[in-house]
Chains A and B, each alone.
Chain A
């Protein structure tokens, strides 16, 4: 049993494993990181047993390494995710995700009258702000706040 588990997380020679993704958020993470357009093999695990979270998802992207600012984009959907970089079958780096100060292009503005929802092809931009301890995305254009429960990914 132990052996099989090890095989799941370390089967790529070089690349990145994104582990501890909430089980229902794997596809969103794939999209945010642009892995749906990847040319190298990408393996997905959904509803995998997790001691810590009950179930989890993971992604293994061969020959793919991410800049921290790209990885942090997934923090909004998968705040529990851990990023494991692998070279020559060895774990060379492990990190957790952090919500970045700016979120661009991945979230829709909640305000239907925002210019990003009214005109075509305007990429969204938000500043992350905490109001009374709660996360809010402040739209760069309309300056309205999108709260965590209203976040919709593009």
Chain B
């Protein structure tokens, strides 16, 4: 049976089945080969960014323009009727009458799901507070499949802030469909929440928890780095103790597998030393570029054009 994602909002990565996710990745592959496809032919996409974002907004707007579409919207709420106290429901209802699709980033958790219930056009969640960021997850999956040739049976090492990092939570949930083995490397204060580990348990998969990064590098297929933020530690001394344990340096990759790739949702601060950038295993900048193809694929699929 052919897969159609027409009019299917993407709010959380779990909204799409593993087959549907792979379908989007196949379309993204096509866009990587041939990014300029005038499928939108002047259609209007609303890009509503209720809080600032650099990569996500620019990558969505690039995707829309590569598809021959037009963008309306805002990149912050200043000067909009939201500042006058307009409700989210009213803003969405109004914009849905102008545009064919709404891309929304909003600092409030759950705002995207709510928007999808009031909107007559589909919504793509570009991040709702600390909750979900499914298009980041989609580009992470695309990057994993592209570099490994498969999503199945991989050993995924997640490093850094596993407690608050929403990209990590979505990735664990998504990769649990593909028989992954997870290495969870974090300070004790920032361990993966029990509720997220439950996805791994529900899929009867293996995971191991570590506090040191070096020992897991030699058997990892993917090393997914995230930033350990000082403000997450109640005691600044605790941060000082652990901060260097989660910094990846080129020398640490000497025994990494040939297929191993380093991913990072960016922005990077100091958790990946710049000396890693020249290593062919560094993949984070290509990963960000893949975001454009993944978003082109989602827009085209949701509008029923692919």
User: Footprint of B on A, CB under 8 Å?
Assistant: 109, 111, 113-116, 118-120, 122, 131-132, 136, 139-145
Contact = CB atoms under 8 A, between A and B. Distances in A.
Interface string B108-130: 11110110000000000000111
B12 A141 contact: no
Given A113-B129, A113-B130, A120-B87, A142 B195 contact: no
Given A115-B108, A115-B111, A119-B87, A143 B12 contact: yes
Contacts of A145: 195
Contacts of A122: 114
Contacts of A132: 194
B194 A144 contact: no
Interface of B: 12, 87-89, 107-111, 113-114, 128-132, 194-195, 198
7 contacts: A114-B110, A115-B108, A115-B110, A115-B114, A131-B194, A141-B109, A144-B109
Q: Is the interface of A mostly helix, strand, loop or mixed?
A: loop
A118 B108 contact: yes
Contact of B109 (A115, A120, A136): A115
B110 A116 contact: yes
B136 to A, nearest CB: 16
A131 B202 CA distance: 10
The 10 closest A-B pairs by CB, nearest first: A141-B110, A142-B110, A142-B109, A115-B110, A115-B111, A141-B113, A115-B114, A113-B109, A118-B108, A115-B108
Contacts of B132: 143
B276 to A, nearest CB: 33
A131 B114 CA distance: 25
Most buried by A among B87, B88, B110: B110
Contacts of B108: 113-115, 118-119
A104 B87 CA distance: 22
A136 to B, nearest CB: 7
